[in-house]
Copies of this chain bind each other. A is one copy, B any other.
């Protein structure tokens, strides 16, 4: 299973390297949204810092959505998904591979976004450990749910619009939790022992488990 996962992840990242979607398009997209939000929230610099975790994560989730969409549009063209099935790869492996590549792409975006938030919005980082770990688990959760629903939506002919509808509400708790954890991390109220982080870990693992178990049925549908 791990081997299958590695193959899938490697292939997806190779396609990414070839088509450079992330580099050429996703990062500028992130920058645009960052600026729009900044402008919308307005001139009081105080507020901006306060709500920057929220903005960070809304943007991060939106770009995760794009990454997921892209990941499954790769499989949709020429019905490559049928190919994956025909190869007899383990569904669990396909799932993990997709999660891994999406996770990796999201992390790249988040690092970039983080730099933006720190330098442009002037966000301070106090408990870096908390920020990093909670970000990792939140991303894991989103990537898992996204992969699961991405496969579901990809089977239909309307994935562009079905996917956000499925992914956004089911990741809303993760979004809220990670925002809270980041607020704590910034104000350094609590360190790595933050209960929000615990919640994120639980979410991330549950979503991962659900995906692993049910991905087979989804793929074959």
Contacts and interface: CB of A to CB of B under 8 A. Distances in A.
Interface in A22-60: 22, 24-26, 28-29, 32-33, 35-36, 39-40, 51, 54, 58
Q: What does DSSP make chain A's interface, helix, strand, loop or mixed?
A: helix
Contacts of A162: 24-25
A36 to B, nearest CB: 6
Interface string A165-178: 10011001001100
A107 interface: no
A36 B73 contact: no
B32 A172 contact: yes
A217 interface: no
For chain A, which range describes its interface: under 10, 10 to 19, 20 to 34, or 35 or more residues? 20 to 34
Copies of this chain, count: 2
A52 to B, nearest CB: 12
A27 to B, nearest CB: 9
B21 A158 contact: yes
Contacts of A165: 25, 28-29, 32
Interface of A: 19, 21-22, 24-26, 28-29, 32-33, 35-36, 39-40, 51, 54, 58, 66, 69-70, 73, 157-158, 160-162, 164-165, 168-169, 172, 175-176, 179
9 contacts: A21-B160, A24-B162, A25-B158, A33-B168, A39-B172, A40-B54, A40-B179, A69-B160, A70-B160
